[in-house]
């Protein structure tokens, strides 16, 4: 199979300043894409912009006006968008029983993780229509399909994003936009934070062994699949999700 190139293509990655988003941004930049990073963390965005020679656009994806302005700016500067990757996401507050759950916290997680991708797709659509092969990729989670206790907001948001993926795929087919999802499992992002937030990672043998492939994931695992799913080589794939979790969700546990 020939190398995938994104030469001449404009790729927007939300939450692209750190973590999995930054890993994907680096991979798309290496594939010659014009990479745009949308993030609400300005310190991280400026660092990432320098590291990749990408363009950083400050934006909170939960805020309609900020998303609308961002797409307007992209239209003025690039005239179109080829790939939108809805990656920005938050998991906090992670713990807390149903009794303790604050609805404001629940609403914020839903606003970023579910309403954010919807807003980005809505305001990007006019720009995506101008692309020859437009694609949207939503980053969901294996938590859309299985749960630890007390993770209501995050789990519900990612389940919603899985459903939004097929709703968008079917609805935007008339605009030739393919829409897919990647559902990551445990991906270690400590090395991919802004300098002031970087942390070393120590995985126990148990951490590794609970994955059939024998290790925890890294952002590059997601980036490789993103390069394929957003490319013309995946032209017959839409409305699907790819679980990338080292096999964790198919491992049966009896004790």
Is 138 or 238 the residue whose CB approaches ligand NAD more closely? 138
CB atoms within 10 A of CB 135: 27
Is 66 or 82 the residue whose CB approaches ligand NAD more closely? 66
User: Among 222, 249, 226, which Cα is nearest to 237's?
Assistant: 226
First-to-final CA distance of the chain: 43
In this structure, what DSSP letter does residue 187 have? B
CB atoms within 10 A of CB 188: 16
Q: Which of 6, 123, 154, 254 is catalytic?
A: 154
Q: Minimum CB separation from ligand NAD for residue 58, in Å?
A: 9
CA distance 138 to 40: 18
Q: Minimum CB separation from ligand NAD for residue 116, in Å?
A: 6
Binding residues for ligand NAD (CB under 6 A):
14-15, 17-21, 38-41, 44, 59-62, 87-91, 112, 116, 139, 141, 184, 186-187, 189
Helices 19-30, 42-52: crossing angle, 10 deg rounding = 20
Instruction: Give the list of residues 6+ apart from residue 126 with CB closer than 8 angstroms, or none.
Output: 71, 75
Helix (H) or strand (E) holding 175: none
Is 45 or 134 the residue whose CB approaches ligand NAD more closely? 45
Q: Minimum CB separation from ligand NAD for residue 29, in Å?
A: 16
Q: Minimum CB separation from ligand NAD for residue 129, in Å?
A: 24
Is 82 or 245 the residue whose CB approaches ligand NAD more closely? 245
Instruction: Give the list of residues 6+ apart from residue 92 with CB closer than 8 angstroms, or none.
Output: 109
154 included as an active-site residue: yes
Active site residues: 154
């Amino acid at each position: 199979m020939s190398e995938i190139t994104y030469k001449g293509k404009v790729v927007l990655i939300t939450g692209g300043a750190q973590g999995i988003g930054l890993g994907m941004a680096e991979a798309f930049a290496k594939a010659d894409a014009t990479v745009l990073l949308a993030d609400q963390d300005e310190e991280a965005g400026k660092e990432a912009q320098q590291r990749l020679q990408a363009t950083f656009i400050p934006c909170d994806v939960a805020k309609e006006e900020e998303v609308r302005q961002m797409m307007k700016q992209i239209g003025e500067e690039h005239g179109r968008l080829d790939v939108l990757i809805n990656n920005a996401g938050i998991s906090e507050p992670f713990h807390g029983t149903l009794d303790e759950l604050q609805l404001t916290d629940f609403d914020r997680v839903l606003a970023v993780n579910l309403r954010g991708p919807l807003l980005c797709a809505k305001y990007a659509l006019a720009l995506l229509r101008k692309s020859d092969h437009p694609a949207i990729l939503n980053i969901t989670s294996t938590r859309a399909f299985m749960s630890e206790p007390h993770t209501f907001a995050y789990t519900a948001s990612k389940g919603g994003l899985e459903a939004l993926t097929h709703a968008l795929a079917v609805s935007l087919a008339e605009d030739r936009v393919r829409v897919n999802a990647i559902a990551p499992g445990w991906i270690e992002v400590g090395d991919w934070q802004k300098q002031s937030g970087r942390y070393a990672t120590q995985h126990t043998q148990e951490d590794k062994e609970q994955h059939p492939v024998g290790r925890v994931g890294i952002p590059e695992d997601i980036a490789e699949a993103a390069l394929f799913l957003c490319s013309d080589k995946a032209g017959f794939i839409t409305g699907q999700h790819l679980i990338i979790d080292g096999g964790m969700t198919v491992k049966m546990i009896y004790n």
